[in-house]
Structure 1
Amino acid sequence: MVIGTLSANDVDAGDTHTYSLVDDAEGRFVLEGDRLKVAASNLLNYETDTTHTIAVRVTDSAGNTFDKNFTIIVTDINETPTIGSAIANQNASAKNAFSYTVPANTFADPDGDNLTYSATLANGSALPTWLSFNPSTRTFSGTPTNQDAGNIDIKVTATDGQGGNISDIFTLSITKVNSAPTVTNISITGNEDSNITFSAANFTPGFSDIDGDTIAKIKITGLPTNGILKLNGTPVSINQEINITNISQLTFTPAANFNGNTSFTWNATDGKTYAATNAVGNITVNNINDAPTVTNLSLTGNEDSNITFSTANFTSGFSDIDGDTIAKIKITELPTNGILQLNGTPVSINQEINITNISQLTFTPDANFNGTTSFTWNATDGKTYAATDAVGNITINKVNDAPTIAQFSVTTKQNTDIQFTAAKFTDNFSDIDADQLAKIKITGLPAYGTLKLNGAAVGLNQEINVANLNQLTFTPNTFFNGNTSFSWNASDGVAYAAASVKANIAVYYPDDRPGNTPVEAWNLGTLEGTRPVGDFVGATDPLDYYKFTLGSRSNFRVVLDDLTANADLQLIDSTGKTVLKFSANTGTNADIITTPLNAGQYYLLVKGNTDTSYNLELSSQAITGPAYYVSETGSDNNPGTFNKPFRTIQKAADLAQAGDTIYIREGTYREGDIRPKSDGAADKPITFTAYTNEDAVISGAEVITGWTKHNNQVYKAKMNWDLGEGNNQIFVNGKMMVEARWPNIPGDPTAITYTDNARSDSGSIDNYNAPANSQRIGTYLDGDLTQAAGFWNGAKINFTPGNNWYPQNGTIISSAPGKIDFDFTWRGPGEDYGYTPDKQDAYYIWGTLKALDAPREWYYDANTQELYFWSPNGDDPSNYVVEAKQRDRAFNLFGRSHVTLENLTVFGSRIHTNNKTNNLVIDGLEVLYGSHTQNIPYTLMSGGTPSIMIEGNNNIVRNSYVAYSAAGGIKVSSGTGNIVENNIVQNTAYAALNDAAIRGSGTNTQIIGNTAFNNGMAKVIDLYQMESGKALYNEVYNGGLQTSDGAGIFVFKTDGKRSEIAYNAVHDMLAPSDWSLRHYGMTGIYLDRSYNWDVHHNVIWNNSDGSIKLLPRLERLNDTSIQTRIYNNTATGHIWFRHNEGTMAGTEFKNNIFQRRNVECRYKTLHKKLHLCL
């Protein structure tokens, strides 16, 4: 390196100069001529010396010298780092962590600069991903895999930061290490009852080896269930190893008939190491249908009755090892002694029947057959029939056949008794079982005379043993002549005939004939009411004349009937010449003449050219004042006369004034809320009555038409009105049908009993500590609930929980086989949790089309306004008169006084009054199906709406027939001086509402001489809140058809104020009685916390909970004026009372006849003021 060139100034011009170093700074510098250079063997080091001093001597030509010192300043220039110690080669093992730190003395920097480090492969590319280098610590780290095995050259570079760097390369040798394989789950599929053979391909997909090794052998680490793994036919054991070359000898044999999933566990090795974790071998065994098996089944029915099959009859004899259900059956051989039918069509051999249609399969035994018969059948699971048929054994129980009877006729002269003989009845009695006549029953009494047995008048439904029939006589009324009859039935000692027949009695004049001319006419005298006569007319005697007199202007009606050949009828004036009216119907059709007639004498002529007997029935009805007439053929634009009648009753009611009578002609009047605009007066009532001896019906129903088939036996039609859920009502030919329900009821829906409903195996509530009147969820378990899960969801349930006191509604929120959950309003625990769902609770399900599965059932869809109906015989409902209730009230007599209703029929609607209705007379009415609902009021003491509601004062209901009400029959709810007398009330409270056949509240109310029976609620006559009233001479029976704990005559928490219960017959109160279930039956007369009553001269027998029950009053505990007197009663059941709360002070019990040792006190100590005089 040349530092510089020397020069010298000399005064001697022309001298030459030479240069030499006197001081070369320790050899660091040299001169070459005049150039100063750094010695080749020395490099200046700035880091040790930043300056150097040298001495230079210049010599001229004369040898003169001059020395001069120079300071050489060293400029710092960067020096490249150097390798201090080469990096040694390194070794690593696959799958083991590798770490190596480059020694600190590997690199040095002459300038003393700080070095930084980096690493790459020798070719400058990046390090492998598994290897990382930390430049701060000069450390290599990472874990190589077997795939990384081999040598790699790694270059480490040191950089001084001044642009100088140096690198060193070392070799990293990676040794391969074996990895354990891994195994994953595998799957294999085979068929039921068949071996599954494995192959290597089943296992290799579940084997993997990071080293790329292949599967060498497997190990069975867990054996499968439901079958056996075998190797070459030998069962495999746990942890048995199997070379991959032998896998084709590995099989799985599933257990017989097994299908589904099972599994084993396995492992595998690459020949060196097994996997760390086992895997699962999933085996799916496909269902291969097994043929089902069928076994013999048995059914039992009764002679002369169809047997209807159910699915359960066949499912009990069907089994399928696959768990399949029965899909259809095949009738492989037909039974004898009867016929199998499907939906009314005879079944043929090998006919298949879907299981869903089994309910349409019936067996009709031959008439009067009893004994055993059978058919053979098979069944399929939908794929295969059973290999062998089974037998359906049918046992037909012998059932006594009701006998048959025929009507007969007897004759006698006027004022002459008829003496009957046993032969007269036995000759008209036959019995297919060859049974003999045992007794007869008089089911209808004759008019115009008295039927007597041994001199005593015969009563309605009186039975007479055959041995006593010779003592039976008929005494006609004095001077009566004509035809009358009584109805009779007969029994073989087991059953009566299906229908009664008539015994016709002809009472004739001594001369035996009506006259052939008016002069010879048979004089019937003054006609009042109805008068029957009868005779013969024909070829030899073509004319019969009758004469009669009317004492006042009257509505007149005459019917010529019971003809065997054609005859005609004429009404002739008093001269016997002028025909006023005539009827000439053809054939044997009845001839009828109706007309108002003035007082006076008239003739009737019966004409016939062919011999025939006949009956002639004349009737009159005095017209007492102004009259209006109503007819189905009339018009409201008419004046309302007999010849031009009104069409509607309401039209006449709008015009009627005090003293007017509205005569309603025969027919059905579909009207409602009929209400006179005016009141009558004390001696001039407004009267609504049927025209003499005609049937006038006021109906709340409308006819349903336009039926189309829905499916199978179910038809549907539009019904564009809705009375609300549970309030619609359907009739066929005048009989109530059944709103679709489960369980089905085969009988009269107005006579439902506790046993007609389902009964729970157990019942519960979701929270027994919940407050009263809260919404709760109830649960019933019942093995008879076989429908699929969710089948009943959303349906309604009517149930009578706990003590079987009061029913109520709920809505089903969840259903499954054997179980339903429903929400309802809980009344609270009550006494002994009497309102809480429990075991043996009666219930039924309704409110869903799914329940429509039997004849007579119907369902109404309010959304589509469609009525679904299964007719009584499964045929088109158009073959019947189908009606649906549309109107609730026939008569609305709110605020009306002095109105009379008589001799009318009210159908499908009711009669209603209020507390301003006074002096109403209801006389001789039929009120049928007056009230209907399935909605149960929640309020404990509330009931439904009765057929006849009486409020106000001095109203009378008498001589009427009230039947078929979901609520009460006749209800006097308030007022003074009301009378209910001589009525028949039956089949009431069939919804089990808190109602009685007759309710007698109010002051001075009289309930006298009525017959009441078949009440669903456990009370028949209810005297709640009666004051100073009477219940006398009533016959009461068959109460509590559905509920328990009441009485035939029941009084609850009432101060009777000397009311009287006397001379009543109370019997056969057969309400459910089971004290283990807290169902307390029904007694005869029950004063439940009531007082100030006189109970005497009653006859009480055959009740499920004794004869008389008393509970102490809870008020007026110290009132000494209170008297309750019970005396002169005759009873066959026990007398029951308790006094542990309240008091029975003032109660007197004396001179009663009852069974010995049959007084029961619920607690041992008798009250000191309870007097028992036995």
Structure 2
Amino acid sequence: MTTSGKLKVKLLLTAVGLIAGLSLVAPVIAVDYYVATNGNDNNQGTIDKPLKSIQAAADKMKAGDITYIRKGQYFEQVNLSGVEGNKEKPFVFKAYQGEKVTLDGTIAIKNKWQKHSGHIYKTTLAEPVWQLFVNEKSMTSARWPNGNWYDGSVWNKKRSMMWPEKGKGKFGTLYNKALSDLAVDLTGATIVVNSGSFKTYQKKITEHRKGQDHFSYDTTQTKVHFSYKNKIHKHGYFLEGKLALLDEENEWFYDVKSKQLYLWAEQGVNPEILNIRGKVQSYALTVRHSKHINFQGINFFATTFNMTQSSFINVEDSELMYPSYSKRMLGDNSPIEVTKMLVQKEHSLSNNQLKNCKIAYTDGPAIEMNGTGNRVENCYMHNIDYSCTYKGGYTLNMVDAKELIFRRNTIHTTGCSELFKAGVRNHIELNDLSDSGHIQNDGSMIQLSVKQQDNGIVRYNWVHDSIKQGIRFDNMNIPNSPYGRNGQVSHNVSWQTDRMFFKGDNHFVFNNLSFDSHQNDLIVSSNKAIQGHNHKTITRNNISNKFSGHRTKPRQNYPVPGIVDHNWDGVSLGLDVRSQLRDVDNLDFRPKANSSLIDAGANIKGKTGVFLGKAPDIGPYEFGALDYWIPGFQDRKTSKPVPPILATNVKLDADLMWLNAYKSASQQVYFGEDFSAVKQANNKSPQYQGEFQHNIFTPKALKAGKTYYWRVDALREGKMIKGEVWSFTVMQ
């Protein structure tokens, strides 16, 4: 072979080698799988031949693959273990093109029923259930005294709890004359006790006879708390676990021994004509030892997810209805199996996210999280934890979640003493929290304990309409004890709460508004028993009616410690905050045009943001700002109008403001004096006021006593989402 021939062969072999090498490193093409209720797990998982179960798809997937789930209810338990994607190639499970996908933890009960007595029917079950639904509405476990979600009575301690007689009883034995009227031996029933503080426990009744005015319950294996043995008359309780306690409609009972299910349906109808379902599983989705998995648009009904020792998990655009419920009906008093996103240790990197989700109607907390770097953002939670029996008094216990971002969430109607228990270096902003702590005593809506205050940031929140404290920095009230330091609280609005209360030292409390509290409005504690207590705290640019160093006593008796300047104190001036702000009763907290708050604040280096005029204003809002910050959950439509829906006595110079829709680019405003005209208007109608990048619209001269209607549509991803029609009436 000639030299040139050898060269040609060598070049050819080199080219072949390069091609082979390239084929070895060629990127693996991600695969899309499809799941549908009418699929088959023997299919390939294409859109035309989908799989039937999510688990079958999960078993086929590799990093970067996507499983699309078609609409419908899925009754399965999906287990993911050792599934590891990466940032560029996560495992993805999502609802197909916005279709409604629900993981359901119930079974249908289509039995024949027979009358038991009165309006109560019964049937025999092949499988025990521990929560019962009629037409997707949860029934109430038979209890005494009665209480349920739907008329709000479960949140009313005076109605839904019984109270021991004063001067009688002890820890483990309670007296009440009303017990004599119960035609039942309560031995073996369960008592759920709110001990008078932030502790609740559940125990078995060990001694009672029908007609007795007292009973005893098991106190063994109970870690003693100071509230258990003191002030027994404050131990509110309710009883479950006896058929004889089923005495009103929408209550139910399951007898474990006889396997009989009992129900008093609404209006006493035969349950055979109703859609009856029973909860039979706690978790429809379990994730262990996994990383980088995204779940989008997947809903849960009467079941939830349990993610342990897993990180970089994202749950987004999901709805969790009745996700957790105790098994007390089965005689099981073990901890409730609640929604979890956990890593092995609190110091472990987590980076789990819960975004744009709704959680409602739980027995137990909304979610439990730990680890470093989590995010809970744009979530709406309500009717959370009516029994408070899970690990103490927290609706959201994030004490082991370091560097959590808790942002733009709305939470209301909760049972536990503390709504949000913050972790180390948590960033808590733009949340709307209200109506909390109905079942337990003590507590706060935002709580930072001693170790969690250092570099914790609480800002731009509304906390309101609660018997609990709005925001609290707490510590041990023991002389010379360790206490919290270096917290930052700014630009919050608190009204109709117990108080805003800050213990510790070296905090920065600035530009907050607090008024109409049950005690003093803004308290920077001057506890003289603790050396150095708040002596280095800076309190500046705040406005409140009652400003003090003590929860009840006036500032004159308890001066605020530390550096205190540029604050507006209503009591000292003989004025109310309403004299300085636009319309606090209709949620407009901006300074009036002639307010003494304008340009009266101090410029705080490294803290103060953009301000208008010569200096910052006192309080959380800046006069003349183009936008009005409104905290809380952003829905798919515009929401939270200011003035509120059906507001009366709106001022003649009112601006109209709203919370932008989630991920909206701009808004179109419609305004007029006729409901139908505003509802039907388009951008060619006289009611159309224009497209807005900001969220403030100033109508032309309003008339006293007149009712007006308005609508704000949202532009998102090129589509216009029509808003609801709101109304308000101008004051006479």
Q: Same fold (TM over 0.5)?
A: yes
2:550 matched to which residue of 1?
1160
Structure-1 residue corresponding to 2:541: 1151
**Could you tell me how far 1:992 is from its partner in structure 2?**
2.2
In the alignment, is the contact (CA less than 8 A) between 2:491 and 2:510 conserved in 1?
yes
2:152 equivalent to 1:752: no
- The residue aligned with 1:736 is 138
- What is residue 36 of structure 2 aligned with on the other side? 631
Distance 1:1168 1:732 in 2: 56
Answering whether residue 403 of structure 2 is matched by residue 1010 of structure 1, we say: no
What CA RMSD, in Å, does the superposition of the two structures yield over aligned residues? 3.0
Change (3 A) 1:720 1:1052: farther
The residue that corresponds to 1:1022 in the other structure is 421
2:330 pairs with 1:947? no
1:792 Cα deviation after fit: 2.8
SS in 2 for 1:883: strand
Contact 1:778 1:824 in 2 (8 A): no
Equivalent position of 2:99 in the other structure: 694
Alignment of structure 1 residues 54-69 onto 2, 5 Å: none
Q: Find out whether 1:1128 has 2:511 as its counterpart.
A: yes
Tell me, yes or no, if the aligned pair for 1:670 and 1:699 is still in contact at 8 Å: yes
1:1151 Cα offset (Å): 2.6
Are the structure 2 counterparts of residues 1126 and 1048 from structure 1 closer, same or farther at C-alpha, using a change threshold of 3 Å? same
1:713 corresponding residue in structure 2: 119
Partners of 2:62 and 2:501 lie apart in 1 by: 51
Equivalent-residue separation in structure 2 for 1:1003 and 1:829 (angstroms): 29
**In the alignment, which residue of structure 2 is the partner of 1:1087?**
473
1:1110 counterpart = 2:502: yes
Structure 1 residues 1110 and 1168: alpha-carbon distance in aligned structure 2, compared to 1, 3 A threshold: closer
Distance of aligned partners of 1:817 and 1:1128 in 2 relative to their CA distance in 1, 3 Å threshold: farther
Q: Structure 1, residues 742-774: CA drift from partner, whole Å, max 9, x if none?
A: 12225438853323313325156766xxxxxxx
Deviations 1:824-863 (A, max 9, x none): 42868855x5654633542212100111122111111111
**What is the aligned counterpart of 2:282 among 888, 898, 902?**
888
1:370-519 correspondence to structure 2 within 5 Å:
none
Distance in 2, Cα, partners of 1:823 & 1:644: 58
Q: Note if contact 1:793-1:814 (Cα within 8 Å) is conserved in structure 2.
A: yes
Shift of 1:676: 6.0
**Structure 1 runs not aligned, ≥5 long:** 1-623, 768-775, 937-941, 1071-1081, 1113-1121
Structure 1 residue 720: deviation in Å?
3.5
Give the match for residue 999 of structure 1: 397
Pairing 1:985–2:381 present: yes
- 8 Å Cα contact 1:985/1:997 also seen in 2: no
CA offsets per residue over residues 106-152 of structure 1, 9 Å max, x none?
Answer: xxxxxxxxxxxxxxxxxxxxxxxxxxxxxxxxxxxxxxxxxxxxxxx
Give the Å deviation of 1:678.
3.0
CA distance in 2, matches of 1:655, 1:627: 10
Which residue number in structure 2 is paired with residue 911 of structure 1? 305
Shift of 1:1000: 3.0
Q: Which amino acid aligns with 2:489?
A: V
* Alignment of structure 1 residues 796-945 onto 2, 5 Å: 796-803=190-197, 805-811=199-205, 813-815=207-209, 817=211, 819-825=213-219, 833=227, 835-836=229-230, 838-839=232-233, 841-914=235-308, 916-933=309-326, 944-945=336-337
Letter of the 1:1139 counterpart: N
What is the CA deviation profile of residues 53-75 of structure 1, one whole-angstrom value per residue up to 9, with x for unaligned ones? Answer: xxxxxxxxxxxxxxxxxxxxxxx
Shift of 1:1061: 0.6
Instruction: Report the equivalent of 1:1057.
Output: 454
Contact 2:526/2:560 (8 A) holds in 1:
no
1:1034: how far off? 0.5
Could you tell me which residue of structure 2 aligns to residue 1047 of structure 1?
444
CA contact (8 A) 1:1036 1:1065 kept: yes
Instruction: Report the alpha carbon displacement of residue 1099 of structure 1 after superposing the two structures with TM.
Output: 0.3
Amino acid at match of 1:1154: S
**Cα shift at 1:818:** 7.4
**What is the CA distance between 1:641 and its match in structure 2?**
1.5
Residues 908/1138 of structure 1: CA separation in 2 closer, same or farther (3 Å cut):
farther
Equivalent position of 1:227 in the other structure: none
Q: Secondary structure at the match of 1:1160?
A: coil
CA-CA distance at 1:917 after TM superposition:
1.2
* SS in structure 1 of the partner of residue 80 of structure 2: coil
Note if contact 1:1031-1:1061 (Cα within 8 Å) is conserved in structure 2: yes
Contact 2:395 2:416 in 1 (8 A): no
**What's 1:1139 paired with?**
527
1:957 aligned onto 2:354: yes
TM-score, structure 2 normalization? 0.64
What is the DSSP-based 3-state SS (H/G/I as helix, E as strand, rest coil) of the residue aligned with 2:300? Answer: strand
Deviations 1:1014-1045 (A, max 9, x none): 1111222221xx22220010000110121121
Counterpart position of 1:178: none
> For residue 88 of structure 1, what is the aligned residue in structure 2?
none
Distance 1:830 1:753, change over 3 A: same
Task: Decide which structure has greater helix share.
Answer: 2
Report the 3-state secondary structure (helix = DSSP H, G, I; strand = E; otherwise coil) of the residue aligned with 2:435: strand
Q: Give the letter for the 2:155 counterpart.
A: I
Is the 1:658–1:686 Cα contact (8 Å) retained in structure 2? yes
Deviation at 1:910, TM superposition (A): 1.6
Specify whether residues 1091 and 996 from structure 1 end up closer, same or farther in structure 2 by C-alpha distance, changes over 3 A only. same
Q: Deviations over 1:340-365 (max 9, x none)?
A: xxxxxxxxxxxxxxxxxxxxxxxxxx
Decide whether aligned partners of structure 1 residues 899 and 879 sit closer, same or farther in structure 2, where only a CA change above 3 A counts.
same
Work out whether residues 901 and 922 of structure 1, in 8 Å CA contact, stay in contact via their aligned partners in 2: yes
How do residues 617-656 of structure 1 correspond to structure 2 at under 5 angstroms? Answer: 625-656=30-61
Partner Cα distance (1:867, 1:1028) in 2:
49
The Cα shift of 1:955 comes to 1.4
Contact 2:75 2:105 in 1 (8 A): yes
> 1 CA distance for matches of 2:562 and 2:552?
14
Taking the aligned partners of 1:1040 and 1:799, their CA distance within structure 2 comes to: 15
DSSP 3-state at the match of 1:759:
coil
Distance 1:871 1:692 in 2: 38
Letter in 2 for 1:1049: I
Q: In the alignment, residue 665 of structure 1 is paired with which amino acid?
A: R
Distance 1:957 1:764 in 2: 48
Q: For residue 1056 of structure 1, report the CA deviation from its aligned partner.
A: 2.9
Give a deviation string over 1:585-634, Cα, whole Å, max 9, x none.
xxxxxxxxxxxxxxxxxxxxxxxxxxxxxxxxxxxxxxx94211111111
Is the partner of 1:839 in helix, strand or coil?
A: helix
TM-score (norm 1): 0.41
Q: 2 CA distance for matches of 1:803 and 1:948?
A: 26
Q: Which residue in the other structure is 1:1097 paired with? A: 491
Gaps of 5+ in 2: 1-28, 344-348, 476-483, 568-732
Q: Please give the secondary structure, in 1, of the residue aligned with 2:58.
A: helix
Three-state SS of the structure 2 residue aligned to 1:1057 is coil
Change (3 A) 1:1062 1:978: same
Q: Superposed, which structure 2 residues align to 1:555-574 within 5 Å?
A: none
Greater CA radius of gyration, 1 or 2? 1
Task: Flag the structure with more relative contact order, 1 or 2, with Cα contacts below 8 A and sequence separation at least 6.
Answer: 2
Which residue of structure 1 aligns with residue 174 of structure 2? 779
The count of aligned residue pairs is 506
CA distance in 1, matches of 2:452, 2:313: 27
Contact conserved, 2:196 with 2:236, CA < 8 A, in 1? no
Q: Judge conservation of contact 1:945–1:968 (CA < 8 Å) in 2.
A: no
Summarize the Cα distance change of 1:694–1:802 in structure 2 as closer, same or farther, 3 Å threshold: closer
CA distance in 2, matches of 1:747, 1:926: 19
Task: Give CA deviations for 1:390-426 in whole Å, capped at 9, x if unaligned.
Answer: xxxxxxxxxxxxxxxxxxxxxxxxxxxxxxxxxxxxx
| Alignment of structure 1 residues 3-22 onto 2, 5 Å | none
Deviation string, structure 1 residues 410-456 (Cα, Å, up to 9, x no partner): xxxxxxxxxxxxxxxxxxxxxxxxxxxxxxxxxxxxxxxxxxxxxxx
Identity of aligned residues (%): 24
How far apart are 1:1170 and its partner, in Å?
4.4
